[in-house]
Structure 1
Amino acid sequence: MAIDGLISGLDTSSIIQQLMSVEKAPQDALVSRKATVQAALDALGSIRTKLGGLSSAAATISSPSGWGLRSATTTSSSTAVVSAAKGASIGSLTFTVDRLASAHGLRSTDVFATTATTAAAGPLTFTGDDGPVSVSVGSGSLADVVAGINAADLGVRAAAVNTGAGYRLQVTATTTGDGSTFTLAGLTGGTTVTSTGQDAKLVVGSGPGAYDVTSPSNTFSDVLSGVSITAVAVSASPVTVDVAEDVDGMAKQVQSFVDSLNAVLGEIKTRTAYDAATKTAASLNGDPTVRRVAQELIRAVTDQVGASSLGSAGLAGLQITRNGTFTFDSAKFGAAYRDDPDAVQALFTQTATTTGPVTFRGAGNRALSGTYDVVVTSPATAASASQSIPDPLVADRTISVRVNGTVASFDAVAGQDLATISAGLAAAIADEGLQLDVGIDAGQLVVTHRNAGSAARFDVAWDGATWTTAAGSDVAGTIGGKAAVGTGRVLAVPSATAGLGGLSVTVGGSGTGVVGTVDYTAGLAQRVASAAAAATDLGDGYLTGEETSTRSRISSLQSSISAWDVRLTAKEAHLRAVWSQLEVQMGSLQSQSSWLTGQLSALG
Structure 2
Amino acid sequence: MLSSPGIGSGLDVTGIVSQLMALERRPLTSLDTKEAKQQTQLTAFGSLKGALSSFQSSLSALANPEKYTAKTATLADTTLANVSATSTTATGSYSMEIQTLAQSHKLKSANFATTGTTIGSGTITIQFGTYSGGAFTLNPDKAAQSISISPDNSSLAGIRDTINLANAGVTASIVNDGTGNRLVIASTDTGLSNALKITTNDTDTNNTDNVGLSQLNYDASTGGTTNLTETVAASNATLVIDGILINKASNKITDAIEGVTLDLLKTNTGTTTTLNLSRDTASAQSAVSSFVKAFNDLNKTIVDLSKYDATTKRASILTGDSTVRSIQTQLRNTISDPLTTAGGGLSILTEVGVSFQANGTLKFDSTALSQVLNDPTKDISTLFASVGKTSDSLVSFISAKPDTNNGKHSLDISQIATQGTAAGSAPAALTINTGVNDTLNFTINGVSASVTLATGTYTATSLAAEIQSRINGAPEISAAGITVALSESAGKLTITSDQFGAASTVSITGGNGKQDLFGTPVETSGVDVAGAINGVTATGSGQILTGAADSSGLTLKISGGNTGARGTVDFAHGFAAKLGKLVDDMLKSNLIDNRIDGINSSIKDIESQREALNQRLEGVEKRIRAQFSALDATIVSMTQTSNFLQQQLSRLPGASS
TM-score by length of 2: 0.66
Q: 1 CA distance for matches of 2:603 and 2:32?
A: 8
1:304 counterpart residue number: 338
Structure 1 residue 296: Cα displacement: 2.9
Matches of residues 529-568 of structure 1 in structure 2 within 5 Å?
529-536=580-587, 538=588, 541=589, 545-568=590-613
CA separation in 2, counterparts of 1:210 and 1:573? 99
- Which consecutive unaligned segments of at least 5 residues does structure 2 have? 128-143, 201-209, 217-226, 427-436, 452-459, 473-481, 488-493, 515-522, 652-657
User: Which deviations, in whole Å up to 9, do the C-alpha atoms of 1:105-155 show, x marking residues without a partner?
Assistant: 63652454xx6xx52254387564247756346386666565555556553
Alignment equivalent of 2:249, drawn from 208, 215, 223: 215
Structure 2 residue matching 1:551: 3-state secondary structure: helix
Residue segments in structure 1 that go unaligned for 5+ positions in a row: 391-395, 410-419, 439-444
Residue 245 of structure 1, aligned match among 279, 300, 305: 279
Mapping for residues 308-457 of structure 1, pairs under 5 Å: 308-350=344-386, 361-370=398-407, 402-406=444-448, 451-452=500-501, 456=503
- Report the AA paired with residue 528 of structure 1: L
Tell whether the 8 Å contact from 1:94 to 1:239 is kept in structure 2 after alignment.
yes
User: In the alignment, residue 221 of structure 1 is paired with which amino acid?
Assistant: T
- The secondary structure found in structure 2 opposite 1:233 is coil
Q: CA deviation at 1:94?
A: 0.7
Which residue in 2 is equivalent to 1:273?
Answer: 307
**Higher mean C-alpha displacement, 290-299 vs 331-340:** 290-299
The alpha-carbon deviation at position 435 of structure 1 amounts to: 7.8
Structure 2 residue matching 1:49: 3-state secondary structure: helix
Residue 47 of structure 1: SS of its match in structure 2? helix
Q: Distance in 1 between matches of 2:187 and 2:508?
A: 42
- The question of whether the paired residues in 2 share the 8 Å contact of 1:12 and 1:579 is answered with no
Structure 2 match to 1:254 = 288
C-alpha change, 1:502 and 1:583, in structure 2 (3 Å) is same
Partner of 2:72: 71
Structure 2 counterpart SS, 1:240:
strand
Which shows bigger deviation, 68-77 or 296-305?
296-305
Secondary structure of 1:314's aligned partner = helix
Shift of 1:383: 9.7
After superposition, residues 134-283 of structure 1 pair within 5 angstroms as 135-136=149-150, 138=152, 150=164, 155-159=170-174, 168-169=181-182, 171=184, 173=186, 175-178=188-191, 179=194, 181=196, 186=211, 195-196=231-232, 198-199=234-235, 201-204=237-240, 211-216=245-250, 218-236=251-269, 237-283=271-317
Matched, 1:285 2:319: yes
Q: 1:327 deviation in Å?
A: 1.7
Give, in angstroms, the shift of residue 246 of structure 1. 1.0
Q: Deviations over 1:19-73 (max 9, x none)?
A: 4444444444344334334433433343333333443444445464544201111
Name the CA shift for 1:270/1:99 in 2 (closer, same or farther; >3 Å).
same
How far residue 510 of structure 1 moved from its aligned partner, in angstroms, is 11
- For residue 181 of structure 2, what is the amino acid of its counterpart? R
Give the Cα separation in 1 of the matches to 2:109 and 2:421.
Answer: 56
Is residue 176–residue 198 contact of structure 1 (8 Å, CA) maintained in 2?
A: no
Letter matched to residue 276 of structure 1: A
Amino acid at match of 2:83: V
1:205 shift after superposition: 5.5
Distance in 2, Cα, partners of 1:219 & 1:383: 30
Deviation string for 1:162-196 (max 9, x for gaps)?
x8x78735545372525375779658999986942
SS in 2 for 1:29: helix
1:531 is aligned with what amino acid?
Answer: L
CA deviation vs aligned residue, 1:79-110 (integer Å, no higher than 9, x gap):
21112233235443512253364562636524
Amino acid in structure 2 at the alignment position of 1:529: G
Alignment match, 2:490: none
Residue 50 of structure 2 corresponds to which residue in structure 1? 49
1:410-464 Cα offsets, whole Å, 9 max, x none, are xxxxxxxxxx9xx99xx989966678999xxxxxx9x9997456xx364868899
CA distance change for structure 1 residues 515 and 560 in 2, over 3 Å: closer, same or farther? same
What SS class does the counterpart of residue 266 from structure 1 fall into?
helix
The CA deviation at 1:557 is 1.9
DSSP 3-state at the match of 1:294:
helix
C-alpha contact (below 8 Å) 1:181/1:196 kept by paired residues:
no
Contact 2:28–2:613 (Cα < 8 Å) also in 1: no
CA-atom RMSD in angstroms? 5.5
8 A Cα contact 1:97 1:231, kept in partner: no
- Counterpart secondary structure, 1:563: helix
Equivalent residue number for residue 219 of structure 2: none
The 8 Å contact of residues 323 and 592 in structure 2, kept in 1 or not, is answered as no
Paired with 2:506 and 2:146, the residues of 1 have a C-alpha distance of: 35
Percent identity (aligned):
20
Match of 2:547 among 492, 499, 509: 492
Specify which of 121, 124, 138 is matched with residue 123 of structure 1: 121
With 91-100 and 367-376 compared, the bigger mean Cα shift is at 367-376
Following superposition, the deviation at residue 273 of structure 1 comes to 0.7
Superposed CA deviations along residues 304-339 of structure 1, whole A, max 9, x for unmatched, are: 345454554323222222222222222221222212
Partner Cα separation in structure 2 for residue 472 and residue 88 of structure 1: 33
For the residues of structure 2 that align with 1:139 and 1:450, how far apart are their CA atoms? 39
**Structure 1 residues 575 and 200: CA distance shift in structure 2, 3 A:** farther
Per the alignment, residue 109 of structure 1 pairs with: 111
Corresponding position of 2:30: 29
What letter matches 2:353 in structure 1? G
Query: Would the aligned equivalents of 2:161 and 2:172 in 1 still touch at CA under 8 Å?
Result: no
Give me the whole-angstrom Cα distance separating, in 1, the residues matched to 2:330 and 2:505: 50
Change (3 A) 1:196 1:511: closer
The answer to whether the Cα contact below 8 Å between 2:67 and 2:287 also exists between their aligned partners in 1 is: no
Which moves more between the two structures, 558-567 or 588-597? 588-597
Change (3 A) 1:30 1:460: farther
Q: 1:588 to 1:166 in 2, by over 3 A?
A: farther
Q: Offset of 1:564 from its aligned partner?
A: 3.1
